[in-house]
Amino acid sequence: MILGAKYKMCRRLGSGVFEKCQTPKYLLSEAKKSKIGKGKRPKALSGYGTQLIEKQKVRFSYGISERQLSNYVIQANQVKGMPVIDKLYEELENRLDNVVYRLGFAHTRRFARQLVSHGHFTVNGKKTTIPSQTVHIGDIVAVREGSRKSPIFADVVGKLKSYAWPKWLKFTPESLQAEVVAKPKNEESFLQLDTVLEFYSR
């Protein structure tokens, strides 16, 4: 998808869907457009329209298909003993490509997905090329031994020196590996997962 299309998508769904829409360049572009369109009143969304927007936010933020998101909602609804919204968030966050992104190895989830697909990571010592693979508490995600000399991971420890890792991931810089130590907590204010669940409950 070209940058212009991403900018257009961010204007519709919000800047949180793509990392490139959270830059000064995007903010400057939006400031210019707001001056041009000043005085125009945005069209009010219907209940369905709001639900559709929130669903698309989740899809584009995590880079997943409609079928994948639908399956995650179905799985979340089948779990007993915990709020559906928390289980849905857990399903999304526990994707391997998202874990690689959260660890700071990739600046976007799309790049993280590419790194996993090319076999640069292992889960519990086994090489994997499946970005959608689910990790669980106790799993070890690491850069594959054969990939550590790659320019992609050159000085990665230095680059991540001031990086703030999520509390549910325990990262060990020396070995370029992390352990899943807890369940991810739903602290993502940009995504309204309750509205997404309403969309699928129609």
pLDDT digits (tens, 9 = 90+) for 21-73: 666 665 566 556 555 555 565 567 788 889 999 999 999 899 999 999 999 99
Contact (CB, 8 A) for 158 and 176: no
Contact (CB, 8 A) for 116 and 108: no
47 part of a folded domain:
no
113 part of a folded domain:
yes
* Number of separate domains in the chain: 1
186 part of a folded domain:
no
Give me the residue label for tokens 């903010």: 27
80 part of a folded domain:
no
pLDDT confidence band for 109 (50 / 70 / 90):
very high
**CA-CA distance, 115 to 97, in Å (whole number)?**
8
CATH number at residue 137: 3.10.290.10
- What's the pTM? 0.82
For residue 84, give the nearest of 92, 76, 74 by alpha carbon.
Answer: 76
CB atoms within 10 A of CB 18: 23
End-to-end CA distance of the chain: 31
35 part of a folded domain:
no
Torsion of CA 198, 10, 103, 82, to 10 degrees: -10
Please state, rounded to an integer, the average pLDDT across all residues of the chain: 86
Give me the residue label for tokens 């509390």: 167
**CA-CA distance, 128 to 148, in Å (whole number)?**
15
189 part of a folded domain:
no
167 part of a folded domain:
yes
128 part of a folded domain:
yes
* Range of the structural domain that residue 127 is part of: 95-180
